[in-house]
């Protein structure tokens, strides 16, 4: 509760300051702003903090224009959403060098108490997203099994079925073999464990053994993170595959 109160007071102070001392200049830009190691707050073109969205750590964003507001430089990263120059590293590179980063207008937040962020370098858990924290998305990838992964940092991805998703997905990449949760044996449920759960719940073994390992692990891990039981696990899988003759 104390943390929330402090945040609200700070936001009010920013709003008041912007109202009293707003002195804006604007220039066009075509560079890239890369966030630092912490969550980066967003602001409107009047200096008001955006309350329900932020940028993920170490993620690059194409800059549309640069404004100077009350002696502070801001870079535009979305429609009426800006970052402070002190919160990012800016380079004057062509926008095309940011691969699909700014074409999606999507924000994600955890459905459960927390959600894992998977690294596409290790295919394992990189960090956690806490309930209530919202992240803007860079890329969106769908693999051959219809599983969606949302990029929230340079190499960090969250699982679509674990997240609340808002906004417009304007550019979805289709990449076979993309499965950044493959090595999550500590926090998730592996394929063999999921097989045992399904057969123990009454599924036909011959049908279960036909399900790809990636799907078995995905469904088991998602259900585990969302606090499901064997019943919800079975129902989740039965929507995708036939489990009984």
Please say which residue of 97, 120, 139 terminates a domain.
Answer: 97
Q: CA dist 81 to 46, 190, 214, Å?
A: 10, 40, 37
Domain assignment of residue 245, yes or no: no
Which pLDDT score, from 0 to 100, does residue 163 have?
95
Cα–Cα distance measured from residue 83 to residue 73, given in angstroms and rounded to the nearest whole number = 9
pLDDT at 235 over 60: yes
If asked whether residues 219 and 149 sit together in one domain, one would say no
pLDDT confidence band for 93 (50 / 70 / 90): low
**93 and 112 inside one domain:** no
Say yes or no: 162 and 202 in one domain: no
Q: What is the pLDDT of residue 25?
A: 55
39-46 average pLDDT score: 89
DSSP one-letter string for the chain: -HHHHHHHHHHHHHHHHHHHH--EEEEE---EEEE-SS-EEEE-TTSPEEEEEEEPTT-EEE--EEEEETTEEEEEEETTEEEEGGGEEEE---GGGSTTSSS-EEEEEESSSEEEEEETTTSSEEEEEETT-EEE---EEE-TTS-EEEE-SSSEEEEGGGEEEEEE---EEE-TT--TTTT--SSS--HHHHHHHHHHTT--HHHHTTS-HHHHHHHHHHHHHTT--HHHHHHHHHTTS----
* Spatial separation of the C-alpha atoms in residues 212 and 53, rounded to whole Å: 36
Both 114 and 201 in a single domain? no
Q: Tens digit of pLDDT for each residue in 118-166? A: 998 899 999 999 988 899 998 998 888 889 999 998 889 999 999 999 9
What confidence score (pLDDT) does residue 17 get? 35
Instruction: Enumerate residues 6+ apart whose C-beta is below 8 A from 22.
Output: 46, 47, 69, 70
Q: How confident is the model at residue 13 (pLDDT cuts 50, 70, 90)?
A: very low
pLDDT in tens, 97-121: 444 444 688 999 999 889 999 998 8
Strands 105-110 and 88-91: unpaired
Alpha carbon distances (Å) from 29 to 38, 64, 106, 225: 24, 6, 23, 42
Give which of 29, 86, 81 is closest to 55, Cα–Cα.
81
In a domain, 180, yes or no: no
The mean pLDDT value of the chain amounts to 81
Instruction: Give the distance from CA 72 to its chain's centroid.
Output: 28
Q: Are residues 167 and 212 in the same domain?
A: no
Residue-range definition of the domain harbouring residue 233: 191-238
The total of structural domains in the chain comes to 3
pLDDT digits (tens, 9 = 90+) for 160-219: 999 999 998 878 888 888 999 999 877 778 899 999 999 999 999 999 999 999 999 999
The answer on pLDDT for 2 being more than 70 is no
């Amino acid at each position: 509760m104390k943390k929330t109160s402090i945040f609200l007071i700070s936001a009010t102070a920013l709003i008041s300051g912007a109202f009293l001392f707003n002195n804006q200049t604007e220039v066009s830009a075509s560079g890239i702003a890369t966030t630092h190691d912490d969550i980066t707050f967003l602001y409107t073109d009047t200096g008001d903090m955006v309350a329900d969205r932020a940028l993920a750590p170490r993620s690059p964003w194409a800059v549309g224009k640069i404004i100077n507001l009350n002696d502070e430089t801001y870079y535009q990263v979305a429609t009426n959403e800006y970052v402070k120059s002190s919160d990012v590293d800016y380079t004057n590179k062509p926008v095309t060098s940011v691969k699909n980063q700014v074409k999606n207008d999507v924000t994600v937040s955890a459905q459960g108490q927390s959600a894992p962020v998977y690294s596409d370098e290790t295919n394992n858990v990189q960090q956690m997203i806490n309930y209530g924290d919202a992240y803007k998305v860079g890329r969106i990838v769908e693999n051959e099994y219809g599983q969606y992964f949302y990029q929230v940092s340079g190499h960090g991805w969250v699982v679509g079925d674990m997240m609340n998703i808002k906004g417009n997905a304007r550019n979805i990449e289709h990449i076979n073999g993309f499965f950044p949760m493959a090595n999550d044996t500590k926090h998730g449920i592996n394929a063999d464990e999921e097989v045992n759960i399904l057969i123990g719940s009454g599924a036909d073994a011959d049908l279960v053994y036909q399900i790809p390992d990636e799907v078995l692990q995905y469904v088991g891990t998602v259900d585990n993170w969302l606090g499901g039981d064997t019943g919800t696990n079975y129902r989740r899988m039965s929507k995708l595959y036939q489990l009984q003759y």
